[in-house]
Structure 1
Amino acid sequence: MPIPQSAEGRKAYELDRAHVFHSWSAQASLDPFVFAKGDGSYLIDADGKRYLDFSSQLVFTNIGHQHPRLVEAIKKQAETLCTLAPAHAVASRGEAAKLITDRLPDSLNKVMFTNGGADAVEHAIRMARLYTGRYKVISQFRGYHGATQQAMNISGDNRRWPNDYGAGATCRFFGPFLYRSVYHARSEEEECERALEALENLIAFEGPEAFAAIILETIPGTAGFMPPPEGFLPGVRELCDKYGIVMILDEVMVGFGRTGSWFALDQFDVTPDLVTFAKGVNSGYVPMGGIGLSDDIAHFFDERAYPGGLTYSGHPLAAAAAAETLKIMADEKIVENAAHLGNDVFGPALAELQDKHPSIGEVRGRGAFWALDLVTDRETKEPLSPYGTVNEKMKQVLSVCTANGLLVFNNMHRIHITPPLNLSDEDARKGLAILDNALSVADEFYVGAK
C-alpha cells in the first residue's frame, strides 16, 4: 500500500512499522493500511479515501463502524464505572448475560465471559473435561478455533502446523464438504451419512470412554464457509448422547446474526451443551467472548468451584457494549436484514457471477457470510492458490478490490464476503460490481474448459 501523504498518516505508519509486531505476518514485508475513521459500512484511510468494508475486519463489526448508539453506551458506562473485578456484580454484565441467554436455546441459561473467542474455547474444553472426567477432544479438519495453545491444537487447518506439538489429546475427522469431499459422495445425503459414519468409527477406535467433548464450528468460517448438510449436526448430537460426550458448538464467527439468524445453530435443529461466542456479540468495539452453559453443566459447579477465570471477565465496558449491541440489532432488525441480504441480494448476485466467471468453482454461504472458491479448472477443482498459501495470482485479484475501494476477507484461494449486517442493498451492489471486475483477473488464470 502507498505510504500515506498526510503528516498524521505518515507518523502513524512510521510508528507502526517501528514498534508494532503484527500477528500472522512476516514483519519485514508488511505494508499495512493506515485507517483514521469509520463510518457505517466504510473505513476511511489517513488520506481520506473511503473503502467499503466487505470483511467486517475479522468478521466482527456486525453493526458497522462507529454506530452512534453503541459509542454513546460505551461513553455512558465509562463515566460511571470503567472496570471491575469479575467476582463482583455490575448491571451491564448481568444485562448482557441475560440478553445473550435469551437468544440461546432454552436449556442454556448461564454465561461465562472471556476476553475473546480463543479463551472461550479453552474454558469450554476445560469445563467439558471436568464435567465428564474424561480428556480427549474431537474436532474436524477444515476448522479453526483460535490461536491460544489448546485452541490451536484442536484446530484443523495449516495455521496449526508450526504451533502444534501433539498436545491436547485431539482427534480429528473430516466433516461434510461435498464440493471437496474425501468420502466420494454424490449427494449431500451421502456426504452427511459418511461423515457421521467416519465420526462414529473414530470414537469407536479411539475409545468411547475417553472423549470429553466434540467441538465444531456450526458453519466452518475461515476454513471456507461450508454449511453442513441437513441432519449432520443432529446426527452429531445423537452420537454425543450415545457416548456421553459434551457437544460444543463454536459460534465465534457465525453468532449474533451473521448467517441470518441470531445463532447459526438456530438453522440446524440442534441444541449443544456449550456454545462459544465472541466477535459479533458487541461488534468488536470492546474485546469480549464467552461461553453459554447448559443447565446441567452450570449446576455441576454449584457446589464445587470452577478452577479458572480471567482478570477482565465480563469487563463493564465490553458488557455495556454487548448489551447495547443486542438492543440495537433487535430495534433495527439487523438480523432480518442479514437474512434479506443473503436471500435477495448476495445469493442471487453471486450465482450470476458464478455463471459469468469460470474461475468461481463454487459459491457457498448464508446471510452475510459467503465464500467464493476460486479455481483454475472447474473439473479438477484445482484451487487458484495452493493450500496454505496466498500466491501472486490471488494477490493480483485482491489488489483490484483494494485499488477500487473494497476490502474483502481472504483465505488462500477463497474470497469471503462478510460485510456489516446492516449493509444497504445499494452498497452491497456497489461492492459486488467491484468484485465482478476483480474476478476478471482470476479468469485470466483459468485453464480449464469454459
Structure 2
Amino acid sequence: MKDVNLGIVGLGNVGSGTLTILAENGDEIARKLGFRLNVTAVCSRSVKTKTLPAGLKPRLVTPDWREVVASPDVDVVAELIGGTGTAREVVEAALAAGKSVVTANKELVALEGVALWRQAEANGVTLAMEASVCGGIPIHSVLREGIAGDRIETLFGILNGTSNYILTEIEDHGSDFNAVLAEAQKLGYAEADPTADVDGFDARSKLALLTSLAFGVQLAPADIPTEGIRRISPTDFQYASQLDCTIKLLCSARRVDGGLFVSVRPALLSKRAIMAGVKGAYNAVWSRGTFGADTFYYGRGAGPNPTGVAVVSDLMRVARSLRPEPAHRVPPFAFTSLTESKPLEIGLQKRPWYLRFRITDQPGIIRDLSSILAEHSISIDAVLQLPDLDKHNLPFVITLENSPESAVRLAVEKMGRLPFMVEPPLALPMEKGV
C-alpha cells in the first residue's frame, strides 16, 4: 500500500515533539496503518539552526511554508505554528490546494474552525484538530465519537496546565502568585508573557471548542465570561480548606432551559469532587450525560510529547481516510452543522458564593456588609475569619447561599466602595459536584 507523505510547518515544541514521535515510533505506526508516514517536507523560520531527529531525511527543508503547501510530494500538511495570522494562511492555502490539514491551534480553530471545516468539505479533504485541546487527552474523539450517543448536559474542564500548576503551588506551599509565576516561567510551564494562561484566554479558546463538540453550537470566544487567577492568594486557599474546598480555574458549560451557561473563572470546588485531585500541569474534563451519566478524562495538558501524540494520531486518522476514501466521515465538530449561539447571560445563574475581603478593622463592618447583601435579597451562609495580627489589612470570608450572580456582582461592586476596604472584594462561585 502506498505511503502517505507529510509536510510539517512549525518546529517549535509541538513540531519538534511530533517529528520525534514520527522518527522514533515510525515502525509501530506503520504496523498499525499498514503503510508508512514519511516526512517529506519541513518548514520553520529558523530551520537552518534546527537539528532534525535521526532517521528523518525530508526532501524539502525551507523557511517558506508556501513551498511545503505547493509541493506535489506532500499529501497532508500539519500546521504547528500557532496564532491566527500566518497559521490561518497556511491552513487555508493547504485546503485550497486539496490537501488535508492537521492542526494543534486552539486559538485559530476556536475563531475560524467552522469556516475552515466548510472549506475542507468543499475541497473534499479533512481538517483534524485533536491536539488543539488537552494535549494528551483525546477529548475531541470522546465527544465526537466515543460518547456521541449521549446528550451532554454539563461539562467541566481544567484546560490550562499553567494555571493549574500555579494554583497547586500556591495551595501546597503557601507561595505568592508572582513568585510561583516566575518559577513556572523558569521551568517552561509559562511563557514570558503569561497573559493568555493566567488571565484565562487560552482556556477560553479551548472551552469554545469543547462547547461546539458537546452541544453543537458555535460560540465566539469573546462572548464567554472569563476571569483569570491573578488575585488568588494563599489566604483564599486557607479559607477554602475550612470549607472543605480547593480552588481551580474551571471551564464550565451547562445546558439549561433556554440555552447554555458558559464561563471560565476560578471557583471553589469541593475536595470530594474528582476534579479536585487534578494537580500540577495536568488537564481534566468531566461530563455528565442524560443517559450515560458521568465520565472523566485526565492527562497531560501540554508539552511536546503529549501534544505530539495527539498530532501524530490525527495524522494517522487522516492518512487512513486517504486510502480508501470512507463513505461517511465523522464531522470534526461532531455535528453536521453548528447552530450560531451566544451563552445565556451569566448573571441569571444561581450558585453559592465565596466572598473574600481585606479590610481595615473597625466596628460595624459585618453590619454594613450584611445590609448591602440584604438590599439585594442575598442570604449569608457563614462568616469565617482566621487569626491575623494586621488589623489594617485583615482578611475574612463570607459565604453566601444560592444566589443569582447578577445580584452578587451588584452587591460586591457596592461593597468595594466602602471606606474600610483595602482592595475590592474577591467573589468566586462554589462548585460542589464536579
Shorter-chain TM range is under 0.3
TM-score, normalized by length of structure 2?
0.23
TM-score, normalized by length of structure 1?
0.23
Q: Which has the higher strand share?
A: 2
Higher relative contact order (CA closer than 8 Å, sequence separation 6+): 1
